[in-house]
């Protein structure tokens, strides 16, 4: 296989590292990043580092995009020449998190050029990307999914959830649950701290009960430590919630809980927390209550 990965940011870089493991089996991996210095070190792992995204995509059977939003994906594909550089029959795996409507539009446009599109956003953060344990939510055709399995395998567990755009729809559902649960854990720990309980012991006490979750374990520990290094940024969580609200509005679905959390994340982002981990909603709510 010849695989290109475009975008070696917080998530893209460890994903590229995982893909470079395929080089030992004779497969080729090409990478590109807007700031080349963030991709250069991948050359030592066997990757070919390119100066332009079109150059990286030119000979690839599979092109993976891992970018910030739908506008960035569209610009890369249709303004920076990636789609024109790809061969008919090659596969675009968009692993960015964008709106389902954007994914469907990209699939239709690429299909007219003979290029197969799959939306395949991920969950699991930087830890999951480094460990190869990402949850990959895939929208597209069954035949393409089977063809792409060897590409997904080093990255995590892939599940085909439906046709074009449904991978992104599933990611929005994931982000709604994550964002809302972070809010619940943060508010609960703040309540206990305000009332005189030890937040670390509170987290320990409810572990294993119905309130336990991966959010409580991973993000709850960050809240206890008051340490929020970015795994998934506040600004990205806000973007995903806004995409969910836009999609819900298009479908005529009322989502009052997501609407409230969007406001709370937006407030945190506006006070300078945009580049912290999304668990920093705990910090935003603590500041709101004059606790930090």
Residues 6+ apart with CB under 8 A from 84: 54, 113
Dist CA 173 CA 244 (whole Å): 8
Give the pLDDT score at 125: 87
Residues 191 and 236 both lie in one domain: yes
Whether residue 107 is found in the same domain as residue 248? no
Confidence at residue 206, expressed as pLDDT on a 0 to 100 scale: 98
Together in a domain, 158 and 177 = no
pLDDT of residue 130: 96
- Of 115, 146, 162, the position where a domain reaches its end is 162
Query: Are residues 177 and 154 located together in one domain of the fold?
Result: no
Domain co-membership, 10 together with 50: yes
Q: Is the pLDDT of residue 168 over 90?
A: yes
Judgement on whether residues 28 and 149 belong to the same structural domain of the protein: yes
Local confidence band at 136 (pLDDT 50, 70, 90 cut-offs): very high
Which of 101, 130, 162 terminates a domain? The answer is 162
C-alpha radius of gyration, the chain, whole number: 20
- Which pLDDT value is given to residue 231? 85
Q: What is the mean pLDDT of residues 89-106?
A: 96
CATH number at residue 199: 1.10.1040.10
Tell me which residue range forms the domain holding 84.
2-162
State how far the Cα of 15 lies from the Cα of 7, in Å rounded to an integer.
10
Mean pLDDT, residues 23-43: 95
**How far are the Cα atoms of 19, 205, 221, 263, 283 from residue 216, in angstroms, in the given order?**
30, 11, 7, 22, 15
Q: Give the model's confidence band at 45: pLDDT under 50 very low, under 70 low, under 90 confident, else very high.
A: very high
Residue 32 has pLDDT above 90, yes or no: yes
Average pLDDT of the chain to the nearest whole number = 97
Shared domain check, 200 and 95: no
User: What pLDDT shows up at residue 38?
Assistant: 93
Query: Cβ neighbours of residue 25 under 8 Å, at least 6 residues apart?
Result: none
Percent share of the chain, pLDDT over 90: 97
Q: How large is the average pLDDT for residues 172-193?
A: 97
Q: How many domains does the chain have?
A: 2
pLDDT score at 174:
95
In this structure, the answer to whether residues 191 and 111 fall within a common structural domain is: no
Residues 26 and 158 in one domain: yes
Is 24 noted as a catalytic residue in this protein? Answer: no
Which residue in the list 24, 38, 141, 171 is annotated as catalytic?
171
| Residue where one domain finishes, among candidates 115, 130, 162 | 162
What CATH number did the domain enclosing 110 receive?
3.40.50.720
pLDDT attached to residue 29: 98
Please state, for a pLDDT cut of 70, what percent of the chain lies above it.
100
Kindly report, residue by residue over 224-280, the tens digit of the pLDDT: 999 999 988 999 999 999 999 999 999 999 999 999 999 999 999 999 999 999 999
Centre a 10 Å sphere on the Cβ of residue 71 and count the other Cβ atoms it contains. 11
In angstroms, the first-to-last Cα distance of the chain is 52
Same domain? 179 vs 75:
no
CA distance 197 to 201: 8
Angle (CA) 147-152-155 rounded to 5° is 170
Q: Would you give the distance in Å from CA 203 to the centre of its chain? A: 27
Dihedral (CA of 226, 232, 238, 244) sign: negative
Same domain as 95, residue 71: yes
Judgement on whether residues 131 and 176 belong to the same structural domain of the protein: no
């Amino acid at each position: 296989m010849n695989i290109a990965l475009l975008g070696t940011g917080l998530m893209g870089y460890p994903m590229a590292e995982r893909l470079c493991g395929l080089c030992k089996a004779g497969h080729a991996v090409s990478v590109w990043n807007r700031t080349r210095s963030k991709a250069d070190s991948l050359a030592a792992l066997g990757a070919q580092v390119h100066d332009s995204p079109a150059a990286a995509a030119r000979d690839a059977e599979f092109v993976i995009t891992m970018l910030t939003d739908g506008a960035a994906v569209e610009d890369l594909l249709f303004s920076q020449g990636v789609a024109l550089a790809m061969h008919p029959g090659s596969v675009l795996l968009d692993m960015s998190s964008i709106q389902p409507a954007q994914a469907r539009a990209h699939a239709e446009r690429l299909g007219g050029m003979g290029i197969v599109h799959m939306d395949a956003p991920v969950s699991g953060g930087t830890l999951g990307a480094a460990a190869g344990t990402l949850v990959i939510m895939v929208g597209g055709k069954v035949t393409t999914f089977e063809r792409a399995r060897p590409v997904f395998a080093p990255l995590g567990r892939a599940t085909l959830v439906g046709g074009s755009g449904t991978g992104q729809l599933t990611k929005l559902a994931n982000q709604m649950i994550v964002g809302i649960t972070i809010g619940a854990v943060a508010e609960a720990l703040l309540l206990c701290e305000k009332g005189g309980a030890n937040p670390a012991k509170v987290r320990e006490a409810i572990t294993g009960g119905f309130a336990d979750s991966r959010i409580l374990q991973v993000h709850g520990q960050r809240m206890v430590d008051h340490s929020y290094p970015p795994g998934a940024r506040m600004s990205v969580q806000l973007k995903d919630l806004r995409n969910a609200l836009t999609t819900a509005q298009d479908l005529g679905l009322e989502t009052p809980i997501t609407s409230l959390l969007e406001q709370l994340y937006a407030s945190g982002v506006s006070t300078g927390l945009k580049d912290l981990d999304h668990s920093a909603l705990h910090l935003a709510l603590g500041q709101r209550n004059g606790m930090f």
